[in-house]
Amino acid sequence: MIHLWLPLMLVCVLVGAGAYGVMSRRNAVLVLIGVELLLNAANLLFVTMGSVLDDRLRTGQVLTLFLITIAAAEMGVALAVILALFRDRGHIDLSEPGS
């Protein structure tokens, strides 16, 4: 038995921290860390709902597995883009305009 406000509160904190990280950072890799936190908040919500709702299709956990895979693929492409950006500009500061 678990009180649902605990995981839901954690979801809210993760979403807030992720949104803050995306908007307040200038380094592109640190922005990606914020995106990861947002994705993990979605994952936690999926798992919480999947574990307390009686779902025959196991949607919560299966969709979490899918989302983890998608996040890994996104991370690979995003880091390739960041490295290409770094080779092109010499820095990955998102607040400076490109050449």
Report 23-82 residues binding other proteins (CB under 8 A): 23-27, 29-30, 32-34, 36-37, 40, 43-45, 47-48, 50-52, 54, 56-58, 60-62, 64-66, 68-77, 79-82
Least separation in angstroms between CB 97 and other proteins: 14
Contact call for residue 83 and other proteins (CB under 8 A): yes
Query: How many C-beta neighbours within 10 Å does residue 83 have?
Result: 12
Q: In angstroms, rounded to a whole number, what is the distance separating the alpha carbons of residues 7 and 31?
A: 24
Least separation in angstroms between CB 31 and other proteins: 10
**Three-state secondary structure of 35-84:** HHHHHHHHHHHHHHHHHHCCCCCCHHHHHHHHHHHHHHHHHHHHHHHHHH
Which residues ranging from 4 to 23 are in contact with other proteins (CB under 8 A)?
4-21, 23
Least separation in angstroms between CB 75 and other proteins: 5
